[in-house]
Amino acid sequence: MIKLIDVSKEYPRRGLALDGVSFHVRKGEFAFLTGHSGSGKSTTLRLIHMADRPTSGEVRVSGFSSSRTSPRDVWKLRRRVGFCFQDFRLLPNRTALENVAFALEVTGAGRKAIHTRAQRLLSQVGLAPKAGAMVHELSGGEQQRVAIARALVNDPLVLLADEPTGNLDERATRGIMELFWEINQLGMAVLMATHDLELVRRYPNARLLELDQGRLVYDSAAAEAGEAV
Amino acid sequence: MYALREALAAFRRAPLLTGLSAAMVGLALFVVGLFALAAYNLQLALESVEERVEIVAYLREEARTDEIALAEQELSSLPEVESVEIVTKDEALEIARRELPEFREVFTDLDVNPLPASIEIRLKAGHRDPSSVDHVARQAGQYPIVEDVRFGREWVDKVFTIRRMAAITTAVMGIAFALVALLIIGTAVRMAVFARRDEIRIMRLVGARDRFIRLPFLLEGALTGFAGGVLAIALTWLTYRAVFHWVFSIEWIPLSWVGAGLLAGVLFGTFASSLAVRRYLREVGE
């Protein structure tokens, strides 16, 4: 599903962001990617989403390789990988339904199917009653639900989330985490970057990957198997 | 369909921005239009001056009618020549009396007509340049019945120097104005692209193809360019009417130029938009 093989990423000004990271997230797995700010969590997600390419090593995602996928073909990968952000990244001048419909439209869904599918996705994230609300009329938790619905438009195999609860209060965080868990139970792999260890502890069944200064310093799956990371 | 709907929606969602873009394009092309109006009328004026370019071959007294007819026939067959006219001695005197009234008495009291017969040669449009005039004049001068050939060499040279200068000025200034228009259109479209940067990011995020992202902006650029072109033509026409009514009589530019102006607006809009989107997509990254 997602495989990082000895991946390093160096930025001209920032220096080394990732240093020889390797891990493998399998189909249907739920994994947390933790670490302090600047440890390389967001860089890892960007590399998996191919918004960036590794300086060395290889990233493989659902049959796409960072060393063989041309920039022209990245859109194919994006349709298999959903992405949620801390700041939601919704279109502010549109309704919840229009935000989801927009994602469906730009990926070439048929006009008739768009409305039905957007409604169904909003129902799935528990936001059907607020489909017609403008984005600024929604709470942070509700906006994140819209963003999750949008990330699901292409029926992705994996859902990436970069600090998705970072801007939410405790109650909204619980709701969003339950939603991610439900999505995962449907068979979709989830890789969530967070620095909130309290949150991670609430999900002992999830896999834990910890980064420190660009290096993978802990992998719960490897630890259980008695392997070194 | 989506691209066209989005391009039209951009006008509805941000009427001020798209209106300003179209106005900027319109004003840039208006300057080009004014220049075209001036260039076209200058071209017409020069053509009317060039039409007066004429070669006159004065004939000897002893020239026989059959020799004159042969010269007329041969000169008429030259590719540069539009018409050849024989002016007899009597006709020359009549013309002199008519066109020079202050000397009418001198021409009336003559015992002998001193004016020579002549062959007047007019050249075809496109063959009124100094080298063609010189060539035909030399051909005419080779006949033994021709005593002298006149065509106002200095006049012809001056007319063609002005024509050449006008052509170079038109080309250089036309290109300069077109470049300015292109820069303005590019800036206007970049503003529009920047205003929709969030949409572009989201399109990429969910896996929209680059050409799918680009197409609405290209159409928006084309529509903005078209609207600007229409505005420029309207402003140029109003200027033409104002000059025609209050200053002096000028000609409106040919329809083909109007069409070319509109097409230029559409092409400039599309091209500038294409550059702006391509650049922005590169800045955003993969």
CATH assignment of the domain containing B70: 3.30.70.3040
Last residue of a domain, one of B150, B185, B212: B150
Chain A residues in contact with B208 by the CB 8 A cut-off are: 75, 106-107
pLDDT recorded at residue B52 = 77
Residues B171, B38 share a domain = yes
pLDDT tens string B207-260: 888 888 888 888 888 888 899 899 999 999 999 999 999 998 899 999 999 998
pLDDT recorded at residue B190 = 76
Rg for chain A (alpha carbons), in Å? 17
Last residue of a domain, one of B124, B150, B176: B150
Residues B40, B63 share a domain = no
Residues B183, B279 share a domain = yes
Residues B125, B66 share a domain = yes
Query: Does B212 reach chain A within 8 Å, measured CB to CB?
Result: yes
Q: Which of A140-154, B113-127, B265-279 has the highest mean pLDDT?
A: A140-154
Is B109 inside a domain boundary?
A: yes
pLDDT recorded at residue B279 = 80
Residues B69, B133 share a domain = yes
Is B11 inside a domain boundary?
A: yes
Is B124 inside a domain boundary?
A: yes
Chain A residues in contact with B196 by the CB 8 A cut-off are: none
Residues B118, B14 share a domain = no
pLDDT recorded at residue A90 = 94
In 3D, which of B6, B209, B153, B94 has the Cα closest to residue A70? Answer: B209
Residues B223, B143 share a domain = no
Q: How confident is the model at residue A42 (pLDDT cuts 50, 70, 90)?
A: very high
- Number of A to B CB contacts under 8 A, please give it: 54
Q: Which of B206, B212, B278, B284 to mutate to test the interface with A (most CBs of A within 10 A)?
A: B206
**Would the CB atoms of B205 and A89 count as touching at under 8 Å?**
yes
Q: Which helix (H) or strand (E) holds A215?
A: strand A215-219
The better pLDDT of the pair B261, A95 is held by A95
Q: Once rounded to an integer, what is the mean pLDDT over residues B115-144?
A: 89
Last residue of a domain, one of B150, B177, B207: B150
Closest-CA distance of chain A to residue B251, Å: 50
For a pLDDT cut of 70, what percent of chain B falls above it?
Answer: 99
* pLDDT over 80 at A19, yes or no: yes
Q: Give the C-alpha separation, A138 to A134, whole Å.
A: 7
Chain B residues in contact with A75 by the CB 8 A cut-off are: 204, 207-210
Contacts of A210 (CB under 8 A, 6+ apart): A33, A34, A35, A216, A217, A218, A219
Residues B172, B43 share a domain = yes
pLDDT recorded at residue B57 = 92
Judge whether A188 and A155 are in contact, CB under 8 Å. no
**Would the CB atoms of A89 and B199 count as touching at under 8 Å?**
no
**Would the CB atoms of B198 and A89 count as touching at under 8 Å?**
yes
Q: Once rounded to an integer, what is the mean pLDDT over residues B6-11?
A: 77
Residues B279, B165 share a domain = yes
pLDDT recorded at residue B285 = 60
Per the structure, how many domains does chain B have?
A: 2
For chain A, list the domains and their CATH numbers.
2-80+156-224 (3.40.50.300)
Q: Which domain holds residue B262?
A: 2-48+160-285
The better pLDDT of the pair B13, A38 is held by A38
* Mean pLDDT of chain B, nearest integer: 85
Judge whether A199 and A34 are in contact, CB under 8 Å. no
* pLDDT over 90 at A39, yes or no: yes
Q: Once rounded to an integer, what is the mean pLDDT over residues B77-102?
A: 88
* Mean pLDDT of chain A, nearest integer: 93
* pLDDT over 90 at A174, yes or no: yes
DSSP output for A107-173:
TT--HHHHHHHHHHHHHHTT-GGGTTSBGGGS-HHHHHHHHHHHHTTT--SEEEEESTTTT--HHHH
Tally of CB atoms within 10 A around A22: 14
Residues B124, B192 share a domain = no
Is B19 inside a domain boundary?
A: yes
Determine if the pTM surpasses 0.80. Answer: no
Residues B164, B275 share a domain = yes
Residue A151 Cα to chain centre, angstroms = 8
- The complex scores an ipTM of 0.85
Structure token digits, residue A152 = 């699901």
Is B155 inside a domain boundary?
A: no
Residues B165, B36 share a domain = yes
